[in-house]
Structure 1
Amino acid sequence: MSLPAHLPKRFDAIFFDMDGTLIDSTPCVERIWRNWAGEHGIDAEDLIANMHGVRGVDVIRRFAPNADLQTEFEKLLGRELTDMEGTIAIAGIAARLAELEGVRTAIVTSAPRPLAQSKLEYCGLTPPAFMVCAEDVADGKPSPAPYLAGARHFAVDPARALAFEDAPNGVRSAKAAGMTVIALTTSHAADELGEADFLIRDWHDLRFHAEADGSVTVTVAE
């Protein structure tokens, strides 16, 4: 079985969001941000509804504009680095990553690099050689800047690249960069991910076939 007829089947590079796409750390992330919201008198439900797929510094800037940005960022980062209870790998991801040997692959995440590396290692996943993290771009998702940085690194045409996301802001970022986007319904309902080109439940739904030139063919599992 293949992807829908209007979509490419072969791509020159694959880009993965991290949280909600490769791993799920929703329980600890939301616990930490709810506590922080309470400390600052912020509506936690509003914050949670608007934080997924967005850099922490941008969340702080939006919801606590008068707070010391660096102080609050370091406080939250410290909490996330020491509280990963409940963080797990998304079902099927280890098998899919094993199929990508030799393929141009990177992670494009709104997390700071130390946190991204720690979460991946906590879940038993080896970080790829290249990642675009929060500190690597001036503008985070939903800006196209993170995904465009990934495309530049590999010198690939974004139109020949595939991005995997789980959050509306991430989908918008990759689509604005000109990429095909497949979204996982791991953290948001299908109707919230309508801008994606295709939806999957988890990594059992796809298969990758690495090509000799570093590209990859994507098929839907039978």
Structure 2
Amino acid sequence: MFDNDGVLVDSEAGVVRAWSRWAVDAGLDPVEVLAAVPGRRAADTVALFLEPEDVDASVATLTRHELADVAGTTAVPGASDLVAQLAGVPWALVTSGVRELATARLVAAGVRLPLVSVTAEDVTAGKPHPEPYATGAARLGVPPADLLVLEDSPSGVAAGRAAGCRVVGVGAGALGTPADVVVRDLTGARWTGAGLTLPAAALLRG
């Protein structure tokens, strides 16, 4: 099960621009807001800063900003190659983003769309709660203990572990998490039919 932003696609520049714009318009500190963004649903982040009655409108505004800024989204190195190896293998996208935005970023990055996905609209509790990954496991029909989660954020790693999955951390930001292993990116990652092999050159920990 793959997270999207930071694992399959690199959308950081667009995320920073959209959230900074929203923060400034809302009279908030963009640095403080951006620190709360990784791994969370937009609604959960916005709720940290605004009154409940203002959340839905702000999320709609943020989504418009982000959808308008997907053109520069690229694939994380190795992501497209790994996904292409998974024909016939149960796999899913499990993202804190809304479905429309997640799809737009995957298309912009040229990453194959999943048959199974869990997005912000599909759960009542977002990451770090285990519900997103538990839902993904249920939709795949595979026990969580038999699934591998690929995540980049502390909240995502926590969600995967809480759901009972083993977790590969992707990127330096995962070094401070309890992920089972951490890689720089997905370059050279290979599905063997029995498991995932990771090249030593990509390992940051493990």
Q: Residue 201 of structure 1: which of 184, 195, 204 is its match? A: 184
CA distance in 1, matches of 2:129, 2:90: 22
Residue number in structure 2 paired with 1:220 = 198
Match for residue 64 of structure 2 among 70, 78, 88: 78
After superposing the two structures, state which structure 1 stretch, 150-159 or 108-117, moved more.
Answer: 150-159
Q: Is the 8 A contact 2:151 2:167 kept in 1?
A: yes
SS in 2 for 1:120: helix
Alignment equivalent of 2:5, drawn from 19, 35, 47: 19
Residue aligned with 2:168, SS: strand
Alignment partner, residue 97 of structure 1 = 83
Amino acid at match of 2:96: S
Whole-Å Cα distance in 2 between the matches of residues 88 and 137 of structure 1? Answer: 27
Q: Does 1:157 align with 2:131?
A: no
Q: Which has the higher contact order (CA 8 A, sep 6+)?
A: 1
Give the 3-state SS of the residue equivalent to 1:182 in structure 2: strand
Q: 2: distance between equivalents of 1:63 and 1:117? A: 27
Residue 56 of structure 2 aligns to which amino acid in structure 1? Q
How far the C-alpha of 1:220 sits from its partner, in A, is 2.3
Q: Contact 1:55/1:141 (CA < 8 Å) preserved in 2?
A: yes
Aligned-residue offset at 1:171: 0.3
Give unpaired runs (5+ residues) of structure 2. 201-206
Question: How far apart are residue 42 of structure 1 and its match?
Answer: 1.4
- Return closer, same or farther for 1:172/1:27 CA change in 2, 3 Å cut-off: same
Identity within the alignment, %: 38
Cα displacement (A) at 1:175? 0.5
Residue identity matched to 1:203:
L
Task: Give 4+ residue runs of structure 1 displaced > 4 Å after superposition.
Answer: none
Deviation at 1:66, TM superposition (A): 5.4
Q: What's the Cα RMSD here?
A: 1.4
Describe the superposition over 1:134-168 as per-residue Cα deviations: whole angstroms up to 9, x where unpaired: 00000000000000001111222111110000000
2:129, 2:159 within 8 Å by CA — same for their partners in 1?
yes
How many pairs align? 200
Q: Distance in 1 between matches of 2:78 and 2:140?
A: 26
Residue 16 of structure 1 aligns to a residue whose secondary structure is coil
> What is the letter of the counterpart of residue 69 of structure 2?
D
Q: Check the 8 A contact 2:40/2:155 in 1, yes or no.
A: yes
Alignment correspondent of 1:106: 92
- Which protein is richer in strand relative to its size? 1
Residue 47 of structure 2 aligns to a residue whose secondary structure is helix
TM-score of the aligned structures, taking structure 2 as reference length = 0.92
The runs of 5 or more residues in structure 1 that have no matched partner are: 1-14, 211-215
Q: Is the 8 A contact 1:23 1:88 kept in 2?
A: yes
